[in-house]
């Protein structure tokens, strides 16, 4: 029982990371109907920025905030400079752009920071640790929950959040009330970039930092987004927690740790076959 509880709770903690990546994917998907394959790599790059700042003597939370800002600004820049020109391009072209972005950021990180696996500090004091979870896992849960809450409040209660939701839902009608839809898209990319940065910085002490650190996490995040419903951000967040728990329990009791990653693929396939809209998503009818 004790071991089960440990696996369950640590699954929830990992799930927070998947939830964050899933949320970032959904934020961009809702506005553009594209999956940003480079979401994980953007986060990884921001985590490296944090690491370099910390190694240079900047206090952890200051480095955290600066890396978050970097994630935001680079997200906006990527949308404005790289994605924008492909606004009217066919889906496959955009997919190739996203894949290219993934490899470019990955190689850039390898070139700048080397492919060596490095340790990443955790800001949470060891005393925070409890019977079932380590200090970092508890802190990680706290940070991801706080982030989800802030994002929720932003979209639910601020005029800018409302305008961003409107722009994602109905770009034409948004222009007719004077919303600058292009900027709302860029802002969405920025927010997704910041969320991805948080996920990577929180994951780094566990998976260690290296240019490929987000590969598996992106896959889980994608599974989370699909499971929760690719058009429902809160579904994606819930999906992340569920995927985290399933992954950990399956790894401990069913398939063993070597096959853990395939669990994400199995979830993706099962959802796509049985319930393409996800648990909390809705199907959109298109009149033709």
Partner 1 sequence: MTALLEVRELSVAYGHIPVIHNLSLLVAQGGITTLLGANGAGKTTLLRAICNMKVRNSGAILFEGRRIETWATEDIVRLGIGHVPDGRGTFVHLTVEENLILGAHTRRDRTAVAQDFERAYTYFPRLKERARQQAGTLSGGEQQMLAIARALMLRPKLLLLDEPSFGLAPLIVQEIFRILRRINEEENVSLLLVEQNASLALALATHVYLLETGRVVMDGPASIVSDNAAVRRAYLGY
Using CB under 8 A, list all residues that contact partner 1.
159, 162-163, 165-166, 169-170, 172-181
Minimum CB separation from partner 1 for residue 179, in Å?
Answer: 6
Handedness of CA 245, 251, 257, 263 (dihedral sign): negative
Using H for helix, E for strand and C for coil, what is the string for 52-76? HHHHCCCCHHHHHHHHHHHHHHHHH
Minimum CB separation from partner 1 for residue 83, in Å?
Answer: 19
Residue 225 near residue 26 (C-beta atoms within 8 A): yes
Rounded CA separation 61/67 (Å)? 10
Minimum CB separation from partner 1 for residue 287, in Å?
Answer: 10
Minimum CB separation from partner 1 for residue 285, in Å?
Answer: 12
Please, which residue, 119 or 173, has the CB nearer to partner 1?
A: 173
Query: What is each CA distance from 132 to 62, 128, 204, in whole angstroms?
Result: 29, 11, 20
Burial-class residue 253 by CB neighbours within 10 Å (0-12, 13-18, 19+): exposed
Rounded CA separation 210/204 (Å)? 9
Please, which residue, 162 or 261, has the CB nearer to partner 1?
A: 162
Minimum CB separation from partner 1 for residue 181, in Å?
Answer: 7
Rounded CA separation 101/83 (Å)? 10
Rounded CA separation 24/92 (Å)? 21
Please, which residue, 136 or 165, has the CB nearer to partner 1?
A: 165
Please, which residue, 114 or 158, has the CB nearer to partner 1?
A: 158
Minimum CB separation from partner 1 for residue 185, in Å?
Answer: 13
């Amino acid at each position: 029982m004790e071991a089960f509880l440990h696996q369950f709770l640590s699954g929830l903690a990992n799930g927070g990371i998947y939830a964050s990546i899933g949320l970032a994917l959904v934020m961009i998907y809702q506005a553009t109907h594209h999956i940003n394959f480079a979401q994980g790599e953007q986060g990884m790059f921001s985590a490296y920025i944090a690491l370099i700042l910390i190694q240079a003597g900047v206090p952890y939370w200051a480095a955290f905030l600066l890396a978050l800002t970097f994630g935001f600004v680079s997200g906006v820049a990527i949308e404005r400079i790289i994605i924008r020109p492909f606004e009217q391009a066919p889906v496959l072209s955009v997919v190739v752009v996203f894949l290219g972005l993934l490899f470019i950021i990955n190689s850039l990180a390898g070139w700048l920071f080397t492919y060596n696996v490095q340790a990443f500090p955790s800001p949470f004091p060891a005393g925070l640790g409890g019977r079932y979870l380590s200090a970092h896992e508890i802190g990680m849960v706290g940070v991801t929950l706080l982030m989800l809450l802030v994002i929720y409040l932003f979209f639910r209660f601020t005029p800018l959040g409302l305008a961003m939701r409107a722009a994602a839902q109905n770009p034409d009608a948004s222009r007719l009330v004077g919303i600058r839809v292009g900027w709302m898209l860029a802002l969405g990319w920025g927010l997704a970039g910041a969320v991805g940065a948080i996920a990577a910085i929180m994951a780094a002490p566990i998976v260690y930092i290296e240019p490929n650190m987000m590969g598996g996490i992106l896959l889980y995040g994608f599974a989370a987004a699909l499971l929760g419903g690719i058009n429902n951000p809160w579904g994606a967040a819930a999906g992340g927690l569920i995927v985290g728990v399933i992954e950990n329990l399956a790894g401990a009791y069913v398939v063993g740790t070597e096959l853990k990653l395939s669990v994400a693929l199995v979830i993706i396939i099962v959802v796509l076959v049985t319930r393409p809209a996800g648990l909390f998503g809705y199907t959109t009818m298109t009149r033709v």
